[in-house]
């Protein structure tokens, strides 16, 4: 799909090329944040600028899978064409309001990695902006990552209850893209289902059994014992080495202190933490 920029985008691009740094995109659902991020990446790469994307939109991730925060470094056109994550953290939910602190911590962690490897970091965020939850999540992220620039895409003044609290960071207010496609709830559900289907229908899927002796089981960032919680078949899990998620799995059976699951990962070597989420398929 060709992206048609407007004059505001071109001016912001010139600013980014000049000043570099970390830019955080704010906007409601279907305001065009992801499209703007892709446009910036394509243009910056063409200027031989190394740019990275942190995708923290756990509900409608364009870079990775639902329920994850991910990142990728773009060094050339081949990276732009292969628009797929390099690293991810499994949050365990497509609803950012239920994993508040994990959302903030995961975004901060990914931004730290990207800052060490690129000149410009672009952070795409969720569309949760309304009410106390939206304000707390966005201001929490801003305090955690300390961006150099904030781009606020709004239709009217729906972001002002957040922007009014921000100090000492340049804010660039732009109109939400009129070309942004408004997606129904049904469309969003089907989008997430397809993402998981494509991932778990990979050419090679392996079945594993993992005992509590061999890895810690976590839920909401806290360790737990399998017998103390009732997880269902079809639960999505993150297969972690420490805090980094190496792959996702789908639970097929839970018995005593063990789980059986399917995953495209080839080996469990180095996997020492299994993160259970609230997503089932």
List the CATH number of the domain containing 222.
Answer: 2.40.30.330
Number of domains in the chain: 2
Segments forming the whole domain that contains residue 145: 7-186
Q: What HEC string does the chain produce?
A: CCCCCCHHHHHHHHHHHHHCEEEEEEECCCCCHHHHHHHHHHHHHHCCCCEEEEECCCCCCCCCCCCEEEEEEECCHHHHHCCCCCEEEECCCCCHHHCHHHHHHHHHHHHHHHHCCCCEEEEECCCCCCHHHHHHHHHHHHHHHCCCEEEEEECCCCCHHHHCCCCCCCEEEEECCCCCCCCCHHHHHHHHHHHHHHHHCCCCCEEEEEECCCCEEEECCEECCHHHCCCCCCEEEEEEECCEEEEEEEEEEEECCEEEEEECCCCCCCCCEEEEEEEEC
Domain shared by 158 and 224, yes or no: no
* Shared domain check, 174 and 211: no
Q: Looking at the structure, do residues 256 and 118 belong to the same domain, yes or no? A: no
Does the structure show a pLDDT above 70 at 180? no
Does residue 252 sit in the same domain as residue 131? no
pLDDT above 60: residue 2: no
Q: Is the pLDDT of residue 191 over 70?
A: yes
Name the band, by pLDDT with cuts 50, 70 and 90, for residue 203. confident
**pLDDT tens digit string along 221-244?**
999 988 888 898 999 999 999 999
What pLDDT score does 5 carry?
62
Of 5-14, 139-148, 225-234, give the range with the top mean pLDDT.
139-148
> What tens digit of pLDDT does each residue of 145-176 get?
999 999 999 999 999 999 999 999 999 999 98
Q: Both 65 and 135 in a single domain?
A: yes
Domain match, 228 and 144 both:
no
Global confidence as pTM: 0.93
Residue 121 maps to a domain: yes
């Amino acid at each position: 799909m060709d992206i048609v920029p407007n004059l505001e985008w071109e001016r912001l691009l010139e600013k980014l090329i000049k000043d570099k740094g970390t830019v955080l995109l704010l906007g409601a659902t279907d305001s065009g944040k992801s499209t703007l991020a892709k446009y910036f990446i394509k243009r910056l790469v063409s200027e031989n600028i190394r740019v990275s994307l942190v995708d923290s939109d756990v509900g409608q991730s364009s870079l990775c899978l639902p329920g994850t925060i991910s990142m990728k470094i773009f060094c050339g056109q081949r990276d732009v064409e292969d628009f797929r994550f390099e690293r991810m953290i499994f949050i365990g939910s497509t609803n950012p309001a239920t994993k508040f602190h994990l959302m903030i911590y995961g975004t901060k962690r990914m931004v730290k990695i990207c800052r060490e490897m690129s000149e410009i970091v672009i952070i795409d965020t969720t569309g949760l902006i309304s009410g106390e939850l939206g304000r707390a999540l966005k201001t929490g992220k801003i305090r955690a990552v300390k961006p150099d620039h904030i781009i606020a895409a709004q239709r009217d003044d729906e972001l002002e209850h957040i922007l009014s609290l921000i100090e000492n960071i340049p804010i660039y207010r732009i109109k939400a893209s009129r070309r942004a496609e408004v997606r129904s709830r049904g469309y969003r559900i089907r989008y997430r289902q397809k993402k998981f289907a494509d991932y778990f229908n990979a050419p090679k899927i392996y079945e594993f059994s993992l005992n509590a002796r061999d890895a810690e089981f976590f839920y909401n960032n806290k360790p737990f014992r399998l017998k103390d919680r009732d997880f269902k078949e079809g639960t999505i899990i993150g297969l972690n080495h420490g805090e980094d998620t190496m792959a996702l799995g789908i639970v097929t059976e839970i018995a005593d202190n063990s789980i059986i699951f399917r995953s495209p990962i080839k080996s469990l070597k180095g996997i020492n933490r299994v993160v259970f989420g609230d997503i089932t398929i």
